[in-house]
Structure 1
Amino acid sequence: MKLDVIKLDGDKAGSVDLNEALFGLEPRADILHRVVRWQRAKAQAGTHSTLGKSDVSYSTKKIYKQKGTGGARHGSKKAPIFRHGGVYKGPQPRSHAHDLPKKFRALGLRHALSAKAKAGELVILDSLALADAKTGLLAKTLGERGWKRVLVIDGATVDANFALAARNIEGVDVLPTIGANVYDILKRDTLVITKAGIEALEARLK
């Protein structure tokens, strides 16, 4: 698969041959779904917590005598049956993460890249190098390209001026190659990868 390479100003800067094993697969929704679920479950805070019978603050004194009241037998006011009593088997802090094989995660990344390429939402950029870290100037440039919701992937490191300028632009995410992931790729409308990013991705997923 061959794609044109452009500069930030929109001028052509040659072309690049993309690896079919990374960008030429037929995207499978089931694979993408499993990897996204794994990512989101891993990111879930899991801080939900309820007070059980032993956690609520009440006296442990028997609330009324055992016999002769005509009512049901009760002891502690902390019982879940009472208002403000403890919660029975309520949620407790835990990790929601589950295992997913490393090879399957890599396969999901290949399918995400292929999905963007097939949809025509993949752009190859010559370089992210900027002379100055000017947010307004970069926002104008991205607007001229029509990139409103975009993920930009650079090589091993991201150009410092570009990262600084893009940091406060809504809808723009910037990642080094090692941070490339299925969820972020699918979340944005356009995927922009530099030539250095392509080489690094091929090395990572070979």
Structure 2
Amino acid sequence: MKVQVKNLDASAAGDIELNDEVFGLEPRADILHRVVTWQLEKRRGTARGTRERADVARSGKKLGRQKGGGTARHGDRRAPVFIGGGKAHGARVRDFNPGLNKKVRALGLKMALSAKAKDGSLVVIDVLDVAEGKTKTLATQLLGLGFGKKALVIDGDAINISFAHASGNLRGVNLMPAVGANVYDILNHDTLVLTRAAVEKLEARFNG
């Protein structure tokens, strides 16, 4: 698959041949759903479990006689009404750390990239250099490129510092290195922007 490469000023910078095994697959909704669900569940934190009556180490001896003491008929210091007693109906620890086969995760990422390439929302940029890292300059350039409301920009090994500075105050523009590419973020943006270095890193990631 051949795609035109652009500069940030919307001028042409040649073409690039994308690997069909990475960018030319037919997306499957079931695979994408499994990977996105796995990602979101991995983000959930587990609550700290509270100690209930069975978990509290206190005396089980009856506090006093059943009748005639003038107080309630308690028989256990572990009761929730006492300070230091067990919690009634407390929070339980739940596991939100499911597993997913590495091959399925890799296939999901390939299909997410292919989905963006198929619907025309994939843009390849030569380099992300912004003059003096100015936000105003970058905002004007992005208008010329015609990105959607939300654009995910993926660079190579490390993010471009000038672009990071310029895009820091731009709402809807997110930047990450190629190692951070994931299905949820790709699908959650209107436009996917890859640099030449990002394309090389992603293709090497799967071919390796």
Bin the TM-score by the shorter chain: 0.7 to 0.9
Equivalent position of 2:188 in the other structure: 187
After the TM superposition, list the runs of 4 or more consecutive aligned residues in structure 1 that deviate by more than 2 angstroms. 47-56, 60-68, 73-81, 84-92, 143-148
Equivalent position SS for 2:129 = coil
Aligned to 1:13: 13
Partner of 1:46: 46
The residue number in structure 2 matching 1:36 is 36
Structure 2: gaps (5+ residues) = none
Instruction: Tell me, in whole angstroms, the C-alpha distance in 1 between the residues paired with 2:136 and 2:62.
Output: 70
* C-alpha separation in 1, matches of 2:63 and 2:135: 67
Q: Which moved more, 1:34-43 or 1:21-30?
A: 34-43
Query: How many Å separate the matches in 1 of 2:88 and 2:3?
Result: 59
| Aligned twin of 1:156 | 157
Secondary structure at 2:132 match in 1? coil
Q: Is the 8 A contact 2:139 2:170 kept in 1?
A: yes
TM-score, length-normalised on structure 1?
0.82
Deviation at 1:11, TM superposition (A): 0.8
Distance in 2 (alpha carbons) for counterparts of 1:78 and 1:127? 66
Shift of 1:122: 0.5
Q: How does 1:35-114 map to 2 (within 5 A)?
A: 35-47=35-47, 49-50=49-50, 52-53=52-53, 66=66, 75-76=75-76, 79=79, 86-88=87-89, 90-92=91-93, 95-114=95-114
**Deviation digits for residues 4-25 of structure 1 (CA, Å, limit 9, x no counterpart):** 1111111111111111111111
Cα distance per residue 1:14-53 (max 9 Å; x no partner): 1111111111111011111111111111111223554533
Q: Equivalents in 2 of 1:79, 1:28: separation in Å?
A: 54
Residues 64/101 of structure 1: CA separation in 2 closer, same or farther (3 Å cut): same
